[in-house]
Amino acid sequence: MSPVFPMLTVLTMFYYICLRRRARTATRGEMMNSRRTVESNSRTSPLNAEVVQYAKEVVDFSSHYGSENSMSYTMWNLAGVPNVFPSSGDFTQTAVFRTYGIWWDQCPSASLPFKRTPPNFQSQDYVELTFEQQVYPTAVHVLETYHPGAVIRILACSANPYSPIPPAEVRWEILWSERPTKVNASQARQFKPCIKQINFPTNLIRLEVNSSLLDYYTELDAVVLHGTKDKPVLSLKTSLIDMNDLEDGNYEEKDGCGMDSLNKKFSSTALREGPNNGYFDKLPYELIQLILNHLTLPDLCRLAQTCKLLNQHCCDPLQYIHLNLQPYWAKLNDISLEFLQPRCTLVQWLNLSWTGNRGFISVAGFSRFLKVCGSELVRLELSCSHFLNETCLEIISEMCPNLQDLNLSSCDKLPPQAFNHIAKLCGLRRLVLYRTKVEQTALLSVLNFCSELRHLSLGSCVMIEDYDVIASMIGAKCKKLRTLDLWRCKNITENGIAELASGCPLLEELDLGWCPTLQSGTGCFARLARQLPNLQKLFLTANRSVCDTDIEELACNCTRLRQLDILGTRMVSPASLRKLLESCKDLSLLDVSFCSQIDNRAVLELNVSFPKVFIKKSFTQ
């Protein structure tokens, strides 16, 4: 046979594989960066006019810089037409998340990361927006006005929040995703990623962000949804591919974390008989366990189907000591928890943040899971888990006697009375109640019984009537406290600060940002500096009364200081800042934005003298 024929056969097979690969990527949106592919998949007839609309409402978000009782720097600014764009700079009329950069991960209050987090899940915050009309999306534009580049995922939901009829099924599809990238500019831009075509109309869009590479807070002004009322017709080239020829085996690295089949993967009935276990049965049990520790949860599900030996290893409860389910929030439901339940009897760290919303997880399903898997729990992350109610917190208090770490951040739908149950968790060491409706009576009870607390977050808790009373209880009961977040507490005074400073001498981190009732003239900040020598982070954001005397007291007494935010003060001079920088050798972050005596020239001079310190100076165009 001529050598040409084998070559032709190989080329034919290669061409066939390429066709299948192209069909697969066309359906799954893996070539979203190719403009040609996107344009060919989005062709519409001339009669199918494009609808362009701004967000009607912000329905959910994980955090924001602003308060719950105003519009400045809040996520609600994303609704409607632009307020600022195309101007650049720091404007109160924009939407701003609570954190940026790496600074919050380097604080004493930072939690250790979960193992087995998929490398393609790097979202830190999110915001969900609704639009007036359901459309098949053709474009999503994000108007960024300051330090752009935080948006890393855009998703669409099949549910219509304005429909009186609940949907039979709720689906989320990723329109676009990308790893965090550094944008070397702080100017405004209109971000227009090439999005994937989906097969359902939507009026609910979700942005997920990662601000770890940003030099300062990102600010978003508006979101524009382009789409058609009728489903776009696929181009001829794409429709000629046989869609039945597609396989399920291709793991969607970008478009998800492999949870579509999680509920089936754990079923032992799917295990096929094999002739042997290869060489794995010759390895020590512990060594195989160690190897499997490096797999993500969906990969464990897949591996469990290969042979009986690996099925046994993949179902061993020791593989689920740390269980991070947050990356799979879009798919996780009661069935998922039911299949995971037998394998999680020894789970110690559990992350259910962002999960269960819109009916995905029921109170009954969550309760059943904790009754079996809660006895060994030490850490429980439930940020933005809106399925929670009072029954859930009661179950947590009864089923998790060893719990030390509880995060209820932005669980703003929990009723105030639900927080009374937390007082039963006497071993708590970390409690995050940021943006919750906890009331004063319940919080006093928690502080009275949870005297082992080391980390406490009460930022933006607007239902607390008198923060001085809370501060007094903290000083009296929580002697081991090391970090305290009182961001935007509305009425703490110098009396509460005095109780904190005298009662919690081990404090290393204190956030008093946007606390308008504190005045430097009372000596409260000088008292903090003298009585809390271990301070590493101190935020006095937007307190206009902070003065040179306070800075000099910090320089003399708080030499371990690493982060200081005095944004907005009018009373601090470059000379006192120089003293601080000379004394605090570990200082790495200093925010002097909108400090009237600290101009750009002063910042430049300090940068030259102290190049290892990141000195932040925001601006408004």
Question: How far apart are the C-alpha atoms of 91 and 70, rounded to whole Å?
Answer: 14
Q: What average pLDDT does range 577-593 have in this prediction?
A: 98
Topology annotation, domain 50-228: Jelly Rolls (2.60.120)
Q: What average pLDDT does range 21-32 have in this prediction?
A: 41
Instruction: Check residue 33 and give its pLDDT.
Output: 39
> Crossing angle of helices 574-583/548-557, nearest 10°?
10
User: 260 pLDDT band (50/70/90 cuts)?
Assistant: low
Q: What average pLDDT does range 181-191 have in this prediction?
A: 93
Taking the C-alpha atoms of 333, 338, 344 and 347 in order, what is their torsion angle to the nearest 10 degrees?
A: 40
Q: What average pLDDT does range 190-207 have in this prediction?
A: 97
Q: In the structure encoding, which two tokens stand for residue 245, read together?
A: 């020829």
Question: How far apart are the C-alpha atoms of 498 and 475, rounded to whole Å?
Answer: 9
Instruction: Check residue 307 and give its pLDDT.
Output: 87
User: 243 pLDDT band (50/70/90 cuts)?
Assistant: very low
Give every CB contact of residue 464 below 8 A, 6+ residues apart in sequence. Answer: 438, 439, 440, 443, 458, 470, 489
Q: What average pLDDT does range 7-24 have in this prediction?
A: 45
Q: Check residues 35 and 148 and name the one with the higher pLDDT.
A: 148
Per mean pLDDT, which range of 38-47, 170-179, 228-237, 458-467 is the poorest? 38-47
Instruction: Check residue 79 and give its pLDDT.
Output: 98
Q: Check residues 432 and 38 and name the one with the higher pLDDT.
A: 432
Q: Check residues 9 and 141 and name the one with the higher pLDDT.
A: 141
Is the pLDDT confidence value at 273 over 80? no
Q: What is the mean pLDDT of the chain?
A: 88
User: 507 pLDDT band (50/70/90 cuts)?
Assistant: very high
Q: What average pLDDT does range 60-67 have in this prediction?
A: 97
Question: How far apart are the C-alpha atoms of 416 and 74, rounded to whole Å?
Answer: 23
Q: Which helix (H) or strand (E) holds 444?
A: helix 440-449
Question: How far apart are the C-alpha atoms of 349 and 373, rounded to whole Å?
Answer: 11
Instruction: Check residue 232 and give its pLDDT.
Output: 81
Residues 77, 79, 81, 87, CA torsion sign: positive
Is the pLDDT confidence value at 15 over 60? no
Is the pLDDT confidence value at 269 over 80? no
Instruction: Check residue 180 and give its pLDDT.
Output: 96
Instruction: Check residue 166 and give its pLDDT.
Output: 79
Specify the amino acid at residue 483: T
Q: What average pLDDT does range 245-274 have in this prediction?
A: 46
Token pair 């798919």 in the structure block, residue: 331
Is the pLDDT confidence value at 1 over 50? no
Count of CB atoms situated within 10 Å of the CB of 241: 17
Q: What average pLDDT does range 249-275 have in this prediction?
A: 48
Q: Residue 429 carries which DSSP code?
A: S
Q: What average pLDDT does range 192-196 have in this prediction?
A: 97
Instruction: Check residue 530 and give its pLDDT.
Output: 98
Q: What average pLDDT does range 111-124 have in this prediction?
A: 94
Query: Does domain 465-620 fall into CATH 3.40.50.300?
Result: no
Count of CB atoms situated within 10 Å of the CB of 415: 12
Q: What average pLDDT does range 507-518 have in this prediction?
A: 97
Instruction: Check residue 253 and give its pLDDT.
Output: 43
Instruction: Check residue 165 and give its pLDDT.
Output: 83
Beta strands in 357-497 (DSSP E): 379-381, 405-407, 430-432, 455-457, 483-485
Query: What's the pLDDT tens digit per position in 281-320?
Result: 788 999 999 999 999 999 998 999 888 899 999 999 999 9
The predicted model scores a pTM of 0.88
Of the candidates 399, 394, 448, the residue with the CA atom closest to the CA atom of residue 421: 394
Q: What average pLDDT does range 233-237 have in this prediction?
A: 51
CA 58 to chain centre: 17
Q: What average pLDDT does range 450-478 have in this prediction?
A: 98
The answer to whether the beta carbons of residues 226 and 51 sit under 8 Å apart is yes
Instruction: Check residue 56 and give its pLDDT.
Output: 98
Q: What percent of the chain has pLDDT over 70?
A: 85
Q: What percent of the chain has pLDDT over 90?
A: 80
- At residue 59, φ and ψ (nearest 5 deg) are -105, -20
User: 164 pLDDT band (50/70/90 cuts)?
Assistant: confident
Please state the three-class secondary structure of 451-517 as a single string: CCCCEEECCCCCCCCCHHHHHHHHHHHCCCCCEEECCCCCCCCHHHHHHHHHHCCCCCEEECCCCCC
Is the pLDDT confidence value at 550 over 60? yes
Query: What's the pLDDT tens digit per position in 465-497?
Result: 999 999 999 999 999 999 999 999 999 999 999
User: 222 pLDDT band (50/70/90 cuts)?
Assistant: very high
Is the pLDDT confidence value at 249 over 60? no
Is the pLDDT confidence value at 436 over 50? yes
User: 605 pLDDT band (50/70/90 cuts)?
Assistant: very high
Is the pLDDT confidence value at 251 over 90? no
Question: How far apart are the C-alpha atoms of 363 and 394, rounded to whole Å?
Answer: 11
**DSSP per-residue string spanning 295-325:** S-HHHHHHHTTT-HHHHHHHT-GGGGSEEE-
Chain region(s) in the chain for CATH 3.80.10.10: 465-620
User: 27 pLDDT band (50/70/90 cuts)?
Assistant: very low
Question: β-strands 509-511, 125-146: how paired?
Answer: unpaired
Is the pLDDT confidence value at 247 over 50? no
Instruction: Check residue 48 and give its pLDDT.
Output: 72
Chain region(s) in the chain for CATH 2.60.120.260: 50-228
Question: How far apart are the C-alpha atoms of 39 and 57, rounded to whole Å?
Answer: 29
Reported as half-sphere exposure (CB side, CA atoms, 13 A), residue 584 has a value of 33
Q: What average pLDDT does range 100-118 have in this prediction?
A: 95
The answer to whether the beta carbons of residues 377 and 404 sit under 8 Å apart is no
* Three-state DSSP class for residue 408: coil
Beta bridge partners of 205: 129, 156
From residue 390, give the alpha-carbon distance in Å to each of 20, 405, 422, 514. 51, 18, 11, 31
Token pair 């300051």 in the structure block, residue: 146
